[in-house]
Amino acid sequence: AQTVTQSQPEMSVQEAETVTLSCTYDTSESNYYLFWYKQPPSRQMILVIRQEAYKQQNATENRFSVNFQKAAKSFSLKISDSQLGDTAMYFCAFVGQGAQKLVFGQGTRLTINP
């Protein structure tokens, strides 16, 4: 069974700083997809970024980028020029190719301080 681990329960940085959230996963599959979701205090789950395992290039979305290390089974999220609106819980998620079930990590609570 796949597992996803986020080893940082909480993080806090100053506005405009860069922050990196860690995620590791365990799978025997070679093709799969990884996602980062953001959950602000409003509780809504919002897709931040996704990565396809067969693509070597790291995904980027504006201030958000990932460092995908397939051999190490690591999928970290980097937020550049952090903003107050980035304050949220961040969840890493995994799904195997052809599978329906997203497997989520425990989440990292990120606070951006003014």
Partner 1 sequence: NAGVTQTPKFQVLKTGQSMTLQCAQDMNHNSMYWYRQDPGMGLRLIYYSASEGTTDKGEVPNGYNVSRLNKREFSLRLESAAPSQTSVYFCASSDTGLSNQPQHFGDGTRLSIL
User: What is the smallest separation between the CB atom of 105 and partner 1, expressed in angstroms?
Assistant: 6
Residues 6+ apart with CB under 8 A from 57: none
Interface residue list for partner 1 (CB under 8 A) = 4, 9, 32-33, 35, 42-47, 50, 52, 91, 95-102, 104-107
Closest Cα partner for 78 from 17, 25, 33, 34? 17
Structure-block tokens of residue 27 = 């799978």
C-beta of 93: minimal distance to partner 1 in Å? 8
Based on CB atoms, which residue is closest to partner 1, 38 or 113? 38
In the complex, the smallest distance separating the C-beta of residue 51 from partner 1, rounded to whole angstroms, is 10
The Cα–Cα gap between 80 and 65 comes to 8
List, in sequence order, every residue forming a beta bridge with 37; answer none if it has no partner.
47, 91
For the chain, how many residues are written? 114
Residue closer to partner 1, measured from CB, 85 or 98: 98
Residue 18 or 62: which CB sits closer to partner 1? 62
